[in-house]
Structure 1
Amino acid sequence: MSPRGRSALIAAALGLALLAGCASPQDDTPAPSVAVDAALVTQREQAGIEDCPLTPASAEPVPGGLPDLLLGCLGSGRQVNLAGLRGSPMVINFWAQWCGPCRAEAPSLAQFAQRAHGKVAVLGVDYSDPDPSLALAFAQQSGWTYPHVTDPLRQTAGPIRFTGIPVTIFVDAQGRIVYRTIGAVASVDQLVEATHTYLGVDL
């Protein structure tokens, strides 16, 4: 091969390496942690509520999927990128401690999370809620041990397309929203049936 040909091959290889280097941070760089009141961390731990899952700092949303949006974890310094929640089917419930219908559906969600453990991930979104301490107290009272993120500024409403709570969405392992329930769920059986129908998981 001529020197000019070898130079062209080397340049092409370097170009591919640079492209790969530019693409990798969205997959490998974890979402940064933030400072949080130590009392809230203690409250979450004493309530037996799990810490939030680790996600990348940035992720390309899939069509019809969760947005590339960072939300803080309730009672933890972790941040969660919603678009990075992939690899497992998931049920996400939007709630607030001041919301009457959210309180009505709370027992069904607690029962569902127990049945879904190890098969379907469950995540709560504390929505438009000004007091994280009251939110944690309500989660503990409800028997919720699954993790929760916070959305005090209502950033999720636009991209996920809802106007009020409670709302429950069903997300497949690729991060696509495949079904949603507007308003309070009536029973744990309603959640189990929707999980079978839209996520293909039997509980």
Structure 2
Amino acid sequence: MNLPGSRTSSRRARSLLGATAGAALAILLAACGTDSPAAAPSASQAPVAGADRLTACPATPSKPPTTNSLPDVSLPCLGDGPDVRLADLRGPLVVNVWAQWCGPCREEAPYLAKLAKSGKVKMLGIDYDDPRPELAVKFATDEGLVYPHLVDTDKAIKQALRVGGPPLTAFVDADGTVAYVHRGVLTSQQQLDQLVKDKLGVTP
């Protein structure tokens, strides 16, 4: 026979069990996330201040990798625009690997800016191993680097281009072949222009 006190205790136990299960379910759903537009963006999704002032990354048609091409990796744009698959790119193209914390990168930046203004070759920057995207945006803006820039925080290009650290400048021909890689700082406009002429057949 069940006593009144026993029935009350049983009801309380079931009520407590239900509340506990409900709380656990709520925690589980919260941990799984939501597709609701009201959900706050993660830090990695948050736009970088000033990025809209940079040259947007263009959409590039997919192409089969060529022998000795740029690495077959896709990198996000530092400014606006889609991710860019490096192996899709064709030249004549100058790719400069840099970082805002890199002193020599600041030294060579005026030469790259002047080459870009000539319009004789396409240009692309890769902000490499850089923990401060907002400072990277400021660097590119202040130095007048008016061409698209990508972000490689995970050193995805390190092995293929044998990047010891920035700066590094790669010269890509019309077939997509990396014709030459200059490791280290560019020391003059004349040096950069001569490399473009010798490696890509273009006179700036």
Aligned to 1:143: 144
> Residue 160 of structure 2: SS of its match in structure 1?
helix
CA contact (8 A) 1:59 1:68 kept: no
Q: Closer, same or farther in 2 for the Cα pair 1:200/1:77, shift >3 Å?
A: closer
Q: Which has the larger radius of gyration?
A: 2
Counterparts of residues 155-174 of structure 1 (less than 5 Å):
155-174=156-175
Aligned to 1:65: 69
Aligned to 2:57: 52
Once superposed, which parts of structure 1, at least 4 consecutive aligned residues long, lie more than 2 Å away? 35-38
Q: Closer, same or farther in 2 for the Cα pair 1:190/1:99, shift >3 Å?
A: same
Q: Which amino acid aligns with 1:182?
A: R
Aligned to 1:37: 46
Q: Which amino acid aligns with 1:150?
A: V
When normalised by structure 2's length, the TM-score is: 0.74
State the Cα distance separating 1:60 from its structure 2 match.
2.9
Query: Alignment identity in percent?
Result: 45
> Residue 50 of structure 2: SS of its match in structure 1?
helix
Aligned to 2:38: none
Aligned to 1:75: 79
Structure 2 unaligned regions, length at least 5: 1-43
CA contact (8 A) 2:79 2:148 kept: no
Aligned residues: 161
Q: Which amino acid aligns with 1:114?
A: K
> Residue 198 of structure 1: SS of its match in structure 2?
helix
Distance 1:167 1:198 in 2: 15
